[in-house]
Structure formats: C-alpha cells, structure tokens
Structure 1
Amino acid sequence: MKESSTSGGAGRKQGAASPCAACKLLRRRCSQDCVFAPYFPADEPHKFASVHKVFGASNVNKMLQELPEHHRGDAVSSMVYEANARIRDPVYGCVGAISSLQQQIDVLQAQLAVSQAEVVHMRMRHFSSSPVNQSPENISPPSRHHQSRTPTRSLFGMDMVVDQTNMGMGESLWSSCN
C-alpha cells in the first residue's frame, strides 16, 4: 500500500487507516485529502465533537480551507478552546473565563500592594526604632499601647510588633490592615 502525502492524510495509509474523528462522527468516508484528519485524530474524538457542536462541521471546514496550512493548527487549537469554554458557559464562553481570571489578578495585585506597604511600614518602623536614629527628643514616653504589644521576629530579621488588643479571635494581621 502506498503512503499518502503529509499535506492531506498526515501519514495515513490509503484505504487501510481508520477515519479521523471528524469523519467518524459525521459517518462519512475519510478521504486521503481530508482537511480534518491532521487536526482531529481518531484517538481524540472529543475535540471534534465539541467543535462540531459549537461551530458546525461546514463552518470549520470553510475556516480551515481559507487558512494557509501553517496557521491551521493554531486555528484548530483556538476553536477547541473556544468550543470547550462555550460548552461550559453557553452565555459568556471565553469572555467569562477571561473576566474571572482578570478579577483574580485584580485581587492578587491588591493583596500584593498591601503586603508591600506592610513591608515598607515594618522597615520604616525598624529604621526609626534603631538606637543610631534615636536621640532623646525622638524617644516618646511609654504608653499603655506599648504594654499590650507582643514583639515577634519576622522573616526579614526585623522586629515586628503586633497590637493584640484590637484583634479578635480568628482575625489575622492582614485583615487589620484594611
């Protein structure tokens, strides 16, 4: 038997190979020059099934025919991703996934900003409390707040003071910064 060219059948043998996932789902004979075969192999039927459900076989065929071969793989990957997103979320599809990820980025950026501000605050507190920077006029008299604070050692090797008088059970240091 003769091997087909890589442009059409992607190494399939003429007449002996099983049909690609698209031809199998569509119940048609998979030809040597099948446009679907290189992108929808028989061992991955779910790929074409989702793309077919969302876009339709005729539209996918038209899109692939209009593209140069070197862009078809990326187009199929994009169609599979969009189809799976549309099946999971019929209203928003990929836009819903992107929006959700953007919200997560916004929350994480806010948390990072709070953490960075706290590090700067701790460094400034450490710098201002070091003996080199304290002159008699900069030293404040002890207050009742200093008595209720517990000194701890942070990861940065700086003294960190946590005011525990205003923190309830289960409340973290992070929530008291907001």
Structure 2
Amino acid sequence: MGGNSPCASCKLLRRRCAKDCIFAPFFPSDDPHKFAMVHKVFGASNVSKMLQELPIHQRADAVSSLVYEANARVRDPVYGCVGAISYLQNQVSQLQMQLAVAQAEILCIQMQQEPPLPSQQMEADERAFGIPENLNNIPQFINFASSSNVMQEPLKRESLWT
C-alpha cells in the first residue's frame, strides 16, 4: 500500500507501511482480523519469512492456507486443521456405513417382494444350493440395522498419536 492507509499488519504492528510491504497485497486494512489471527498463531516474522521464500504466484494460496490454519488453531489449539479433517473423515465413514445399511435393507425388502418360484423349481434350487428347508435356523444378519442403533453416539475425538 505505502500511501494513505497502512495494511492490516502494519496497523497491528504500529509501523509505517512501506511501498514494498510483503503483507500489503494479502492483508488489506479493511480486514484486520485476518492478520491478527495469523500473527497470533505464527508471528509476523515467521509469516514474512515464509512469504519471502515463496514465488510471487504462490503467496496468495499460502496466505489463504495460513489464515485457515490459524483459525483452526484458535478453535482447536492441539489439533488445528488435522482435528477438523479427522472429524470430517469420521463423519464420512459413518455416513458410508449408514448408506450400506440402508442399501442392505432395500435389498432385503426387494428380495421379499419378488414373486416366488414355482414349487418344483424352488425345491430343485434348494437342493442345488444347499439351502436348508427351515430358514429359521439361519442367523438374522441381514436385518441387523433395524434392531440396533447404528451410529447414534456423538463423535469422540481420538488422539492420532496413541
């Protein structure tokens, strides 16, 4: 910026904003909270060093990542982004399991609604495939979802290091 209004970083650090200020393109004066979070987590000196080591065309993406990580670290100082990613991965796994259960229930219902084979053909199929005459002896594994509470517990954060 260098002119009338200093960038958010120079305002926070109470210094004059030079014409070649490395922070000015990424931390405008109208969004001081953005730099305050990054400064609180990483420090202005570290951010400046990181930005100087990057090619100019990658700096905007780096600042975006730093802002995202800083906000995540403020919300969760221990895990930061990793905690959010882990939470979302667990949620995806749970939803995939619920989908598989629902698909199994749909398949079970579809199988129950199919018209029966003629009795002669059914008996031949039972002998050929070794299907017992009394199906009550088979464990009820297909309809397990309706009798249990699948994924009703709230998510618990687990340590990635244990």
Match for 1:67 among 54, 60, 82? 54
Q: Which has the higher contact order (CA 8 A, sep 6+)?
A: 2
Q: Which runs of 5+ in 2 are unaligned?
A: 124-143, 151-162
Q: After TM superposition, which residue ranges in structure 1, 4 or more long, deviate above 3 angstroms?
A: 136-139
Correspondence list, 1:44-83, <5 A: 44-83=31-70
Shift of 1:122: 1.4
Identity %: 66
Provide the rounded CA distance (Å) in 1 between the counterparts of 2:75 and 2:6: 28
Shift of 1:119: 1.3
Higher strand residue share:
1
Does residue 124 in structure 1 map to residue 95 in structure 2? no
Higher helix residue share:
2
Question: Residue 135 of structure 1 aligns to which amino acid in structure 2?
Answer: P
Q: Deviations over 1:102-143 (max 9, x none)?
A: 11111101001101111111111112xx2xx4324659xxxx
SS at match of 2:11: helix
Provide the rounded CA distance (Å) in 2 between the counterparts of 1:63 and 1:118: 53
SS at match of 2:52: helix
* 2:158 aligned residue: none
Match for 1:134 among 99, 117, 137? 117
Task: Give TM-score, length-normalised by structure 1.
Answer: 0.66
Does residue 96 in structure 1 map to residue 119 in structure 2? no
Question: Residue 34 of structure 1 aligns to which amino acid in structure 2?
Answer: C
Aligned residues: CA RMSD: 2.0
Task: Give TM-score, length-normalised by structure 2.
Answer: 0.73
Structure number, greater radius of gyration: 1
SS at match of 1:32: coil
Match for 1:28 among 10, 15, 18? 15
Q: Deviations over 1:18-76 (max 9, x none)?
A: 11100000000111111001100111111100000000000000000110110000000
Provide the rounded CA distance (Å) in 2 between the counterparts of 1:20 and 1:64: 16
Q: Which runs of 5+ in 1 are unaligned?
A: 1-8, 140-172
SS at match of 1:30: coil
